[in-house]
Structure 1
């Protein structure tokens, strides 16, 4: 098991995350003020390699922006190896429910199958730490049900939109997120951020997606944009790298070539967007759920 045994409860020191990669100005963004910050405690089980990425992923601030609370039902789409699961599952363990919309256990894609198996080994064998994580299957276009319709308080995805674009399934996944959410529920999206001038082909090739395109997908699914945050911005990332976003850490696709340069940049510049599924008013003809 890659997780260390949990020792004494300690506070996760995220409130002091580095801000050196934040842009000098955010005047063009409608930043949302967090009024009920998420308090992440008892995370002694997280290993050093996981904690090292807090500087770029800002989990406490990000989850606060998405207005998480411990009694909610939360869907995490394509958790991969479980970096965010390692935080979400203990947070929701006692009062809430985490649903991991993962790949199929018998996926024809070998990488998907292996990572799904590793996820089960890591997170389903320690219920005292992670609780009762429910698993659903997302492999579009065949499997597109994240959770029961109108059942989730939050649906979250971290750096996945570019993956769905490779097979032309991005709109289908956004539609599935809309279906899973309760009316009034929130869809939180963190994604590598491209300039809005990037073509779809450039986005697929580079792994960077424009904010305009993500908002277009969400709007087409029925969502309304209710907030943007620059908490995961990185002004040092110019989005022009030989191997796209994978040139930067943690992938470092070029190996030792210019490694110091890319380590100095850090992880990618990211958008952090919050969408709401509109409330259903049964008195109107427009209520379809």
Structure 2
């Protein structure tokens, strides 16, 4: 039965792509597919699509070309390489990160291809007085990939600042706007203490933080689930690819497991 469903899904996708090529109206999914297929993407990033499922993830979040999108903590720009062509010419893309050094990855993309990445607006996150800011009530979609656990683990200056982070994301969004979160998933049965050092976080914790900030939970997707990941690694989530904290020790074992088990959650600002 599963094989039959898989074949059906593949055929459905092929028909959808063929329809777009034939000139039929583009769907939200087809515009995401086109952005993921952009020739400007880095080959090393494309190789990770099998773990990150960008078409399914961005389709689930409902990202559209005309949206004002905020990518929180884009790092080296893995998703930026997709979001830039997706919003080019129709929407607006913000890259919000610790100011100013957190935006260096995106600045590198801008230096490499000013036509594509130049329009990206840079902002501070978390924001503090005197830093460039995503205007309140301006965003259609705020996205953050594998970052909430970092805010929960905190920093030396203020400890756990996850509540502040969610409050600022809530402020960025228009009423009806979407918050999309993907993160390393800690089993609900695990000790909450593991959220402080493992890189994993519970779905219940993320939902609590979002709902306390005012968000309404919409839906969860299992598109980024990985049942091979037990999550119980001495060196945390960084044991797995792409980090391989143990370097060559048992590398084949961790490569076979793949990237982490991840939650994919969608919230809405009332």
Query: Structure 2 vs 1, CA of residues 181 and 139 (structure 1 numbering), >3 Å: closer, same or farther?
Result: closer
User: Which residue number corresponds to residue 256 of structure 1?
Assistant: 248
CA distance, structure 2, for counterparts of residue 145 and residue 235 of structure 1: 41
1:105-184 alignment to 2 at 5 Å?
Answer: 105=100, 113=101, 116-139=103-126, 147-167=134-154, 168-184=160-176
Q: How much has 1:145 moved relative to structure 2?
A: 7.5
* 1:143/1:277 CA distance change after superposition, 3 Å: farther
Q: Which runs of 5+ in 2 are unaligned?
A: 1-8, 11-26, 155-159
Whose helix fraction is larger, Structure 1's or Structure 2's? 2
Q: Give SS of 1:206's match.
A: coil
Q: Does the CA contact (< 8 Å) of 1:146 and 1:176 recur in 2?
A: no
| 3-state SS of 2:259 partner | coil
Aligned residue number for residue 228 of structure 2:
236
For 2:90, the equivalent position in structure 1 comes to 95
Q: Which moved more, 1:202-211 or 1:130-139?
A: 130-139
Alignment correspondent of 1:61: 56
Higher RCO structure (Cα 8 Å, ≥6 apart): 1
What secondary structure is seen at the aligned counterpart in 1 of 2:197?
helix
Deviates more, 1:94-103 or 1:133-142: 133-142
> How many Å apart are 1:242 and its aligned residue?
1.9
Distance 1:217 1:229, change over 3 A: same
1:247 is matched with 239
Alignment check: 8 A CA contact 1:138 1:145 kept: no
Residues 74 and 155, structure 1, Cα contact 8 Å, conserved in 2: yes
Does structure 1 retain, via aligned residues, the 8 Å contact 2:151–2:162? yes
1:132-165 deviation digits (Å, cap 9, x = unpaired): 0000011467789851111000000000011111
Unaligned runs of at least 5 residues, structure 1: 1-14, 17-34, 106-112, 279-289
* TM-fit CA distance, 1:118: 3.8
Which shows bigger deviation, 72-81 or 46-55? 46-55
SS of the residue 2:125 aligns to:
strand
**Aligned pair in 2 of structure 1 residues 47, 230: CA closer, same or farther (>3 Å)?**
same
Output the CA distance in 2 between the equivalents of 1:143 and 1:164: 22
| Match of residue 180, structure 2, among 181, 184, 188 | 188
TM-score normalised by structure 2 residue count: 0.83
Instruction: Normalising by structure 1, report the TM-score.
Output: 0.77
Alignment size in residue pairs = 238
When the two chains are superposed, the root-mean-square deviation of aligned CA atoms in Å is 2.0
User: Do the aligned residues in 1 keep the contact of 2:221 with 2:263 (CA within 8 Å)?
Assistant: yes
